[in-house]
Amino acid sequence: MAEVELSDLIGLAERVASWTKAAGADEAEAYVAWAKDTYTTLQGDVFSTREGVSAGVGVRAVIGRKVGFASASSLEEAKLRSAAEKAVEIARVRPEDPKFHRLPDPVRRPARSGGFDEQIIEIGAADVVPQAKSVSSEALSADRRVKYVVVFIYTQAYMFGVANTRGISCGDRASKFMGIVECKVSDGSEERTGSDHVYGRRIAELAGIGERAARLAADSLGARGLDQPVVGHVLFDSTTASMMLSMLTYGVSARSVQEGRSRLEGKLGKQVASKELTIVDDAWMKDGLGTVAYDGEGVPTTVKPVIEDGMLRNYLYDSYAAHIEGKKSTGNGMRSWFTSQPSIREVNYMVRPSSRSPDDLLSEVELGVYVRGDLMGLGHANYVTGDFSVVATNAFLVRRGSIEHPLPPTTIAGNFYEMLKTARVGSDLRLSPIGKIPSILVSGLTAATRR
């Protein structure tokens, strides 16, 4: 199936970069990517399933301090050449960027790839269809109140080659598997939802997620609202904790810091979180979804603490931000597809776990809320100040260490950076799209529901 090899992509990237230079760029970079994706969706009784292969190139052309970008979704020479020429033409109309220095030079340091599942190259969506059906059946038979189930299974095999005219020439492969289930329960008067998932780099067993989603939905029935907002503890399970921690990237991005948009500006070496919190950006996590040997600019990715015992240790850099401070890129100029330019993102966050189970954390809650399921509205948070207000789909009132009753959809509001200062971590690391995250207990947030 893979009629294209990684070495082909790297070779193509080198050629496109040189064509771009020949077309008039002072220097140039080409990122050539290939992906085979399968998307299997089962909604109720209707499958909508697709799969395919696509590939293409993103070209950066540099003229002085002007940078142009163009892409083409094709590996045919004529189209690659037209993208190269367009990037040069666009560079000419761009304004000078005084902060831009140059494309990165080759960096010599060890680089490691993550695990790759060869099966994912061969698998078709047709092979995944029975798995989707069994997840749906499992959810429907778990509880008679389950009325509607949506299952989504995604597989991806990904390869990229990146080369620039300063000598960078490299690439890597990655595989990805996601199984997600959402179900709706109704007891006639009340409707609730529940969800669960499995993420990984290898095809995995999905048995159990349908039942867990159904149980979460069913456990949320019989909700009673809060008489008044609760200001107290919030225990995020590993899933919702990972959604919350995705806010960190904005603050530790060197770009945000340089542009004065980060609350963590000037905080290197200072206490920004509770002593319990250690977060490493771990590019060598074998099974991490973000794991990749080189970033989107061809710089080897790295392992470095972001927060260590509550102290801010590092910002994340791509080559653009690194040049501004005369530093080296940390290999965080990530790209998810050839149509996008590099942007600063974590590879994988690894939160150092404690020895306390989620139940141990729960037992510490005098008055508060246990948050599971999904968080909505995180995209509307103020990433500059850290203020957020999200709606938790599955929240439970906790009093004196035990769950009292489910709550209706619950608004949780507060400040992300203040919240970090109160964080207590659990032992239950779970793989999520941003890394490995356990349950996290925080305080000082406000929880409110309709009465």
Partner 1 sequence: MEDLLALAVRAGEEAGAELVEARGEDITVFSMRSEKKTVKLVDYKRIVGVGVRVFADGATGYAYTNMLTREAVREAAVRAFRIAKAASRHTKLRLHPAECKPARGTFRVEVRRHPGEASIDEKKEALHAGEREAEEAAGRLLATTISRYGEAYGWRYLVSSDSEARVEFLVASMGFSVVCKEGGEMADAADSFGGTVGFEAFTGEHSPEVMGGNAARWALEKLRGVKPPVGKHRALVDNRLAGVLAHESFGHMSEYDFVATGGSPLAGKIGQRLGSSEATVVDEGVVGVEGYPGFRVPCDDEGVEARRVVILEEGVLRSYLHTRWTASLAGVEPTGNARAVDYTFEPICRMRNTYFTPGDLTLEEALEQLRNGVYACGTAGGQANFDGSFMFKATRGYLVEGGEVKAAFKDVAILGHILEFLRNIEAKTGELKVYSSFFGGCGKMGQAPLYVGLGGPHILVKEAMFGGERVG
Q: Which residues pair with 308 in a beta bridge?
A: 311
Cα 178 to Cα 157: distance, rounded to the nearest angstrom: 12
The region of 22-30, 130-138, 191-199, 359-367 touching partner 1 under the rule CB under 8 A is 130-138
The candidate with the shortest Cα–Cα distance to 197, out of 140, 253, 239, 144, is 239
Is 52 a residue that touches partner 1 (CB under 8 A)? Answer: yes
User: What's at 315, amino acid-wise?
Assistant: Y
Residue 53's φ and ψ, nearest 5 degrees, are -120, 130
Is 94 a residue that touches partner 1 (CB under 8 A)? Answer: yes
Which residue of 62, 87, 412, 420 would you call a contact of partner 1, by CB under 8 A? 87
Q: The tokens of 90 are what?
A: 């666009």
Is 159 a residue that touches partner 1 (CB under 8 A)? Answer: no
Is 433 a residue that touches partner 1 (CB under 8 A)? Answer: no
Cβ atoms within 10 A of the Cβ of 7, count? 11
Nearest distance in Å: CB 21, partner 1? 18
Is 70 a residue that touches partner 1 (CB under 8 A)? Answer: yes
Which residue of 133, 212, 399, 421 would you call a contact of partner 1, by CB under 8 A? 133
Nearest distance in Å: CB 88, partner 1? 11
Which residue of 6, 26, 49, 115 would you call a contact of partner 1, by CB under 8 A? 49
Which residue of 65, 79, 202, 421 would you call a contact of partner 1, by CB under 8 A? 79
Is 72 a residue that touches partner 1 (CB under 8 A)? Answer: yes
In the numeric block, the tokens 């990146």 are attached to 162
The SS3 assignment for 396 reads strand
Which residue of 130, 167, 222, 229 would you call a contact of partner 1, by CB under 8 A? 130
Between 130 and 229, CB nearer to partner 1 = 130
Q: The tokens of 82 are what?
A: 């037209």
Q: Are the C-beta atoms of residues 16 and 32 closer than 8 Å to each other?
A: yes
The region of 129-137, 224-232, 318-326, 387-395 touching partner 1 under the rule CB under 8 A is 129-137
Interface size with partner 1, residues (CB under 8 A): 45
Q: Are the C-beta atoms of residues 316 and 249 closer than 8 Å to each other?
A: yes
Cα 60 to Cα 79: distance, rounded to the nearest angstrom: 15
The candidate with the shortest Cα–Cα distance to 16, out of 112, 99, 97, 88, is 88
Nearest distance in Å: CB 49, partner 1? 5
The region of 81-89, 342-350, 370-378, 422-430 touching partner 1 under the rule CB under 8 A is 81-89
Nearest distance in Å: CB 244, partner 1? 25
The region of 9-17, 88-96, 114-122, 394-402 touching partner 1 under the rule CB under 8 A is 88-96
How far CA 254 is from CA of 69, 290, 306, 346, 390, in Å, comes to: 22, 19, 12, 12, 26
The region of 37-45, 153-161, 371-379, 431-439 touching partner 1 under the rule CB under 8 A is 37-45
The candidate with the shortest Cα–Cα distance to 261, out of 247, 271, 246, 250, is 250
Between 135 and 362, CB nearer to partner 1 = 135
Between 22 and 126, CB nearer to partner 1 = 126
Is 75 a residue that touches partner 1 (CB under 8 A)? Answer: yes
Which residue of 74, 119, 186, 258 would you call a contact of partner 1, by CB under 8 A? 74
Nearest distance in Å: CB 33, partner 1? 12
Is 147 a residue that touches partner 1 (CB under 8 A)? Answer: no
How far CA 79 is from CA of 42, 76, 178, 360, 383, in Å, comes to: 36, 6, 33, 59, 39
Q: Are the C-beta atoms of residues 389 and 364 closer than 8 Å to each other?
A: no
User: What's at 115, amino acid-wise?
Assistant: G
Q: Which residues pair with 440 in a beta bridge?
A: 236, 425
The candidate with the shortest Cα–Cα distance to 388, out of 182, 246, 200, is 246
Say which DSSP state 269 is in: T
In the numeric block, the tokens 């998932």 are attached to 197
Per-residue binder mask for partner 1 (CB under 8 A), 320-339, x = binder: -------------------x
Nearest distance in Å: CB 207, partner 1? 17
Which residue of 5, 7, 53, 405 would you call a contact of partner 1, by CB under 8 A? 53
Nearest distance in Å: CB 395, partner 1? 23
In the numeric block, the tokens 């109704």 are attached to 186
Nearest distance in Å: CB 344, partner 1? 18
Beta-strand ranges (E) seen in 169-286 are 169-186, 191-200, 230-236, 279-282
Between 75 and 285, CB nearer to partner 1 = 75
For 151, the enclosing helix (H) or strand (E) is: strand 146-164
The region of 70-78, 219-227, 367-375, 400-408 touching partner 1 under the rule CB under 8 A is 70-78
Site residues (vs partner 1, CB under 8 A):
3-4, 42, 44-56, 68-76, 79, 82-83, 86-87, 89-90, 92-95, 124-127, 129-130, 132-133, 339
